[in-house]
């Protein structure tokens, strides 16, 4: 016995009434694209169709912002925040001169103070972003960094002591953590649909960071040269110039906070909700297909978004291995940025503006590799290969810098300059190859609701390396010279390569043994 359905629908603007249709006829009618979604009319017993264009209405303003501007705004915020860091890199020798510091552990404290504050921020803010939302925490940390930089600028202008300036840097570091949060946000946006956008978004993040290394040093050098105070002596003018450079970096961070607050939409609801089906830290994770996090309608069960851990078969062994590699790299990287400007100044007689131009030239090389090579290389060969190739170039560049710094002062200046600049260019080739590989490996290991915490853990380990290495290697620099300083940094990178390759070999061997068929009895 067939049921009867009353339908009223519009065709070519005319109303056509169908009395009683059988179920098959109604089913065929529903499959036709010309029929519109019908809703009951409360004033009649029939069914009235929607207007033809009612389902194609324009999206609301938040939807447009979410679709078009959230990812660019996060990339812009990362660029502006890092711009503040890179603007101050050329003034490092001038900052040491301002406080009458000799190259050594005391000079390295200028680099270690900010990471000391980062230890608190990097552990606190990324984990809070899992609970409170990426947008709110990201805006808060960027605004705090901007205010901390303004305090540093004011302290330099008021001729504060070294201890007061370092305290301001530590306070600024307490608002760090926006880097891991932005990567976690990009992972939230890019991990859906099999995660095909994850590597692309992280490559864009790395490219925006590299762009900051292009613009920042030359901008900082130009600001240092163009702006200055009206002090009667050179020291007063130097203080005003340093203060203005730091003030510009503070404005960049505040503008980054504003862009996130106005343009970014939250896309991390799964971070706070995905709790029902969570693996333990010891649960094995084998290489396999992506399992997207979805809210299943029948019961609201959430699955975890784990692909594989390239350097471990368990969650935390993989995370710990990647964090170890990352920490060794950051120990070397902080050494490079702490003492490379002084090397250019002492061996090649570069002034502040020339140091900034050198950093910008190297960053152009890095940006080219990041924009046109890094993502393609990682897609073709995988994140472990990109990590080891990038670290190999970084380590070779640092060892070459150590050799060049050990050459006698009276040797041909052209040869020394060629070695230093060539080794630095090789260093900047390796950085963008390595850069996206670590967050890619980490974010493949963790479910969405742990992304902020795991990225925060990695950032905390890296921060510890950045606190300790300038102090220890700065003392090596003081006792044994710049050559030994850069050779030790290069050794750290080669150890990181060894850890990555050995861990990958162990993972592949275990997976091969697991997947191999049992021998016949």
Q: What is the tens place of the pLDDT at every residue in 110-160?
A: 777 887 888 888 888 888 888 888 899 999 999 999 999 999 999 998 888
What is residue 96's predicted lDDT score, i.e. its pLDDT? 81
pLDDT tens per residue across span 384-442: 999 999 999 999 999 999 999 998 877 778 889 999 999 999 999 999 899 888 888 88
- Give the span between the Cα atoms of 12 and 296, in whole angstroms: 40
pLDDT at 19: 39
User: Is the confidence at residue 497, as pLDDT, over 90?
Assistant: yes
C-alpha closest to that of 270 among 297, 319, 303, 298: 303
d(CA 446, CA 316): 9
- Gap between the Cα atoms of 330 and 495, Å rounded: 12
More confident residue, 341 or 288: 341
Question: Is residue 7's pLDDT more than 60?
Answer: no
Q: Determine the pLDDT at residue 325.
A: 95
Distance CA 347, CA 376 (A): 37
Q: What is the mean pLDDT of the chain?
A: 75
The pLDDT value recorded for residue 47 is 39
pLDDT at 26: 46
Q: Which residues contact 100 (CB under 8 A, 6 or more apart)?
A: none
DSSP bridge pairs for 284? 314
| Angstrom distances, CA of residue 335 to CA of 329, 358, 484, 488 | 10, 17, 12, 9
For the segment 181-198, what is each residue's pLDDT rounded down to a tens digit? 888 888 788 765 545 576
Residue 206 binned pLDDT confidence (cut-offs 50, 70, 90):
confident
State residue 104's pLDDT score. Answer: 63
Question: Where exactly does CATH 1.20.1250.20 map onto the chain?
Answer: 61-271+304-515
> pLDDT at position 420, please?
95
Mean pLDDT calculated for residue range 68-86 = 86
pLDDT, position 30: 42
**pLDDT surpassing 90 at residue 230:** no
Q: DSSP letters along 219-266, please?
A: HHHHHHHH-----SSHHHHHHHHHHHHHHHHHHHHHHHHHHHHHH---
What pLDDT shows up at residue 108? Answer: 66
pTM of the model: 0.62
- Tens of pLDDT, residue by residue over 261-277, are 999 887 644 344 333 33
* Chain centroid to CA 230: 40
Higher pLDDT, 460 or 502: 502
Sign for the CA dihedral angle at 272, 292, 383, 441 comes to positive
What pLDDT, on the 0 to 100 scale, is given for residue 225? 80
Average pLDDT over residues 283-310: 40
E-only strand ranges, 259-411: none
* Element holding 8 (H helix, E strand): strand 5-11
Q: Say what the pLDDT of residue 515 is.
A: 61
Q: What is the pLDDT of residues 455-474, one digit of tens each?
A: 778 878 887 888 788 888 88
pLDDT of residue 257: 94
- Go through the chain and tell me how many residues it has: 521
- Cβ-Cβ contacts under 8 Å for 315 (sequence gap 6 or more): 279, 281, 282, 283, 285, 306, 309, 445, 446
Q: Among 3.30.300.30, 3.40.50.300, 1.20.1250.20, 3.40.50.740, name the CATH number for the domain at 61-271+304-515.
A: 1.20.1250.20
DSSP for residue 10: E
Local confidence band at 283 (pLDDT 50, 70, 90 cut-offs): very low
pLDDT of residue 98: 83
SS3 label, residue 298? coil
Task: Kindly indicate the confidence band of residue 21, based on its pLDDT and cuts at 50, 70 and 90.
Answer: very low
- Provide the percentage of residues in the chain whose pLDDT is more than 90: 26
């Amino acid at each position: 016995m067939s049921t009867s359905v009353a339908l009223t629908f519009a065709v070519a603007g005319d109303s056509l009434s169908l009395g009683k249709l059988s179920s098959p006829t109604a089913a065929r009618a529903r499959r036709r694209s010309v029929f519109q979604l019908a809703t009951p009319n409360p004033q009649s017993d029939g069914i009235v169709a929607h207007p033809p264009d009612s389902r194609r209405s324009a999206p609301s303003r938040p939807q447009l912002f979410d679709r078009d501007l959230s990812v660019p705004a996060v990339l812009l915020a990362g660029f502006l925040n890092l711009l503040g860091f890179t603007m101050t890199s050329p003034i490092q020798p001038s900052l040491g001169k301002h406080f009458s510091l000799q190259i050594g552990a005391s000079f390295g404290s200028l680099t270690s103070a900010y990471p000391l504050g980062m230890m608190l921020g990097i552990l606190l803010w990324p984990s809070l972003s899992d609970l409170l939302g990426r947008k709110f925490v990201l805006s808060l940390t960027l605004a705090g960094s901007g205010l901390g930089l303004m305090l540093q600028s004011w302290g330099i202008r008021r001729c504060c002591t070294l201890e007061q300036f370092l305290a301001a840097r530590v306070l600024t570091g307490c608002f760090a953590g926006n880097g891991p949060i932005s990567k976690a946000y990009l992972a939230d946006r890019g991990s859906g649909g099999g995660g095909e956008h994850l590597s692309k978004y992280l490559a864009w993040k790395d490219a925006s960071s590299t762009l900051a290394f292009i613009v920042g040093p030359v901008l900082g050098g130009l600001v240092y040269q163009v702006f200055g105070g009206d002090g009667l002596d050179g020291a007063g003018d130097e203080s005003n110039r340093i203060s203005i450079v730091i003030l510009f970096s503070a404005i960049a961070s505040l503008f980054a906070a504003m862009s996130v607050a106005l343009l970014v939409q939250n896309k991390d609801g799964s971070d706070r909700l995905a709790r029902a089906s969570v693996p333990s830290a010891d649960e094995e994770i084998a290489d396999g297909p992506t399992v997207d996090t979805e809210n299943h309608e029948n019961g609201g069960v959430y699955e975890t978004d784990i692909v594989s851990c390239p350097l471990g078969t368990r969650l935390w062994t993989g995370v710990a291995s990647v964090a170890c590699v990352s920490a060794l790299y950051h120990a070397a990287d902080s050494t490079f940025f702490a003492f490379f400007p002084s090397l250019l100044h002492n061996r090649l007689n570069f002034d502040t503006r020339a140091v900034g131009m050198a950093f910008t030239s190297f960053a152009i090389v890095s940006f080219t590799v990041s924009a046109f090579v890094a993502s393609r290389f990682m897609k073709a060969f995988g994140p472990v290969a990109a990590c080891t190739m990038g670290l190999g170039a970084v380590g070779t560049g640092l060892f070459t810098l150590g050799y060049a710094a050990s050459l006698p002062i009276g040797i041909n200046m052209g040869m020394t300059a060629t070695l230093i600049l060539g080794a630095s260019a090789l260093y900047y080739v390796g950085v963008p190859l390595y850069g996206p590989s670590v967050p890619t490996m980490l974010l493949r290991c963790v479910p969405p609701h742990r992304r902020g915490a795991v990225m925060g853990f990695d950032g905390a380990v890296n921060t510890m390396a950045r606190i300790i290495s300038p102090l220890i290697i700065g003392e090596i620099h003081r006792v044994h010279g710049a050559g030994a300083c850069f050779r030790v940094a290069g050794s750290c990178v080669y150890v990181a390569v060894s850890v990555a390759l050995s861990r990958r070999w162990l993972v592949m061997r275990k997976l091969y043994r697991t997947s191999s068929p049992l021998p016949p009895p």
